[in-house]
Amino acid sequence: MRIVLLGAPGSGKGTQAKKLMAEKNIPQVSTGDMLREAVAAGTRFGLKARSVMDAGNLVPDEVVLGIISERLAQPDAEEGFILDGFPRTTQQAMDLEELLDEMGTPLDTAVLMDVDFDILLKRLTGRRTCSVTGKLLNVYFSSQEELDACTDAGGELMQREDDTEETIGNRLDVYRENTEPLIDFYKSRGRLVTIGAEGTIDEVYQRLLSSLSE
Ligand code: AMP
């Protein structure tokens, strides 16, 4: 199963990709996570990427393509993968198509995760990660019990550097301008399915599974 999860920041791509990865035993490939790892490692490249990411802008196409082609050549991606946050531009989508053609393993489906703008904003501004358990939480949507469990464990609710209100506005603009055109790109390839990505994580997951079995 080779799929792309498409959707605005905050649509839940990462959350759903992790669930699907656990069930289908294929890797979640998140360019955002890989770039954050490079930033955390403090490499020269990471330092350059950091300012671009903190501003909510896109890292150059050739950089992410390099990361993706290396990653998809790993043995654990042989049986399939879930792309999360890539492609984000038409150029990246064309490059991916070429890469997969060369590998003889074309994409099966691009799943568009559709969420109302107001909900996206709350998901992004409220998003926190527990510094101790690593659990992804949201100050608007998680229960008080879940939030307390983090602080009781001695943890702090950490906010991603690019989840500030100012950067979020830019990330959503960048999505509209650069990534939304991919909806038509995959439609024209006959590969697009759309799911409603509002509701609980499990509700969305059930919709995702049924869209993949159609
Ligand atoms: P994400 O975790 O997917 O929201 O990505 C976080 C940030 O990493 C984005 O705002 C971009 O700066 C960068 N990034 C992630 N994936 C890509 C991509 N496919 N193309 C360009 N930049 C990316």
Domain membership flag for residue 191:
yes
**Which residue in the block uniquely carries the two structure tokens 């799943």?**
111
Rounded CA gap, 149 and 152, in Å?
Answer: 5
Q: Which domain holds residue 133?
A: 2-27+74-213
Return the SS3 of 6.
strand
Helix (H) or strand (E) holding 119: helix 117-125
Residue 13 above 80 pLDDT? yes
pLDDT tier at 154, thresholds 50, 70, 90: very high
The reply to whether 100 falls in a domain is yes
The model's pLDDT over 73-105, given as tens digits with 9 standing for 90+, comes to 999 999 999 999 999 999 999 999 999 999 999
CATH code for position 114? 3.40.50.300
Three-state DSSP class for residue 82: strand
Q: Which residues line ligand 1 (CB under 6 A)?
A: 9, 31-32, 35, 52-53, 56-59, 64, 85-86, 88, 92, 162, 171
Q: What is the pLDDT at residue 161?
A: 85
Round to whole Å and give the CA distance between 159 and 50. Answer: 16
Rounded CA separation 122/138 (Å):
9
- 193, 211 in Cβ contact below 8 A? yes
Calpha distance 192→180 (Å, rounded): 13
Residue 45 in this model has a pLDDT that exceeds 90? no
Q: What is the mean pLDDT of residues 48-52?
A: 90
Within 10 A of 117 (CB to CB), how many other CB atoms are there?
A: 9
Residue 162: what pLDDT?
87
**Domain assignment present for 22:** yes
Band (185; pLDDT cuts 50, 70, 90): very high
With respect to residue 36, please indicate whether it lies within any of the assigned structural domains.
Answer: no
Structural domain includes residue 153: yes
Q: How far apart are CA 134 and CA 157, in angstroms?
A: 10
Residue 194 within a domain: yes
Ligand 1 centroid to Cα of residue 35, in Å, is 7
| Contact status, residue 72 vs residue 99, Cβ threshold 8 Å | yes
pLDDT at 214 over 80: no
Mean pLDDT, the chain, integer? 94
13-23 average pLDDT score: 95
Q: What is the pTM of this model?
A: 0.90
Ligand 1 pocket test, pick from 59, 67, 159, 177 with the greatest ligand atom count within 8 Å of Cβ, gives 59
What ligand 1 atom has the least distance to the C-alpha of 57? 12
Could you tell me the pLDDT band of residue 109, with boundaries at 50, 70 and 90? very high
Domain assignment present for 166: yes
Indicate the SS3 state at residue 29.
Answer: strand
The one-letter amino acid code at 84 reads: D
The verdict on residue 204 lying in a domain is yes
As a whole-number percent, the residues of the chain with pLDDT over 70 amount to 100
Q: Crossing angle for the helix pair 165-174 and 117-125, nearest 10 degrees? A: 140
Total domain count, the chain: 1
